[in-house]
Amino acid sequence: MTEVVGSFRKSSYSGQQGDCVEVADTTDHGRAVRDSKQQDGPLIAVSRQTWQGFLRQFA
């Protein structure tokens, strides 16, 4: 089972509006993503490879 390791963080580009997503590391070296306004809400867990592919889209 994949679990969150450490704390969630948000991009420094997100500003002060509070409408953003947060990301945390997971036990399987992937990432968990959540809505910052619903911290107890659902998470989207993605593999390390999927996360790296996502980041490459913006590099």
Domain ranges of the chain: 4-56
**End-to-end distance of the chain based on CA atoms, in angstroms?**
30
CB of 47 within 8 A of CB of 28? yes
58 pLDDT above the threshold of 80: yes
Residues with Cβ within 8 Å of residue 39, at least 6 apart in sequence: 8, 22
What's the pLDDT score for residue 47?
Answer: 96
17 pLDDT above the threshold of 80: no
Helix (H, G, I), strand (E, B), or coil: what is residue 13? helix
Q: Using CA atoms, how far apart are residues 54 and 51, in angstroms rounded to an integer?
A: 5
